[in-house]
Amino acid sequence: MRILHLIYSLNVGGAERMVITLANYQVQSNQVGLCIINNLYSQKLLNELDSRIQVFRINRKKASRNILDVFQLNRYVFKFRPDILHIHDSDAILYIPIRSFYHTILTIHAMNLPLKGYKLYNQTVAISKAVADNTENRGLCRPEVIYNGISTSAIQRTKKNIPNAEQNFRIVQVGRLEHGIKGQDLILKALHRLSSSHISIDFIGDGSSYNYLKEVTRQLKLEKQVNFLGNCDIEWIYHHLCDYHLLVQPSISEGFGLTIAEGMAAGVPVLVSDLPAPLEIIDKGKQGYYFRHNDVDDLCRMLRYIIKHYEEALQLSDKAQTFVTVNFDSKLIAQQYINLYNEYIYKTHTK
- CA distances 238 to 93, 268, 294, Å, are 34, 12, 28
Whether residues 131 and 242 share a domain: the answer is no
Host domain of residue 314:
152-328
Residues 140 and 192 in one domain: no
Same domain, 22 and 60: yes
Instruction: Assess whether 233 and 104 both reside in one domain.
Output: no
> In this predicted structure, what is the pLDDT of residue 163?
78
Domain check: are 262 and 333 in the same one? no
Say what the pLDDT of residue 130 is: 94
Number of structural domains found in the chain: 2
Is the domain of 13 the same as that of 25? Answer: yes
7 shares a domain with 137: yes
- pLDDT < 70 positions in the chain: 165-166, 349-351
Are 169 and 85 in the same domain? no
- CATH number, domain containing residue 136: 3.40.50.2000
**Same-domain status, 213 and 261:** yes
Q: Is residue 52 domain-shared with residue 168, that is, in the same domain?
A: no
pLDDT at res. 197: 86
- pLDDT, tens digit, 9 for 90 and up, residues 69-105: 999 999 999 999 999 999 999 999 999 998 989 999 9
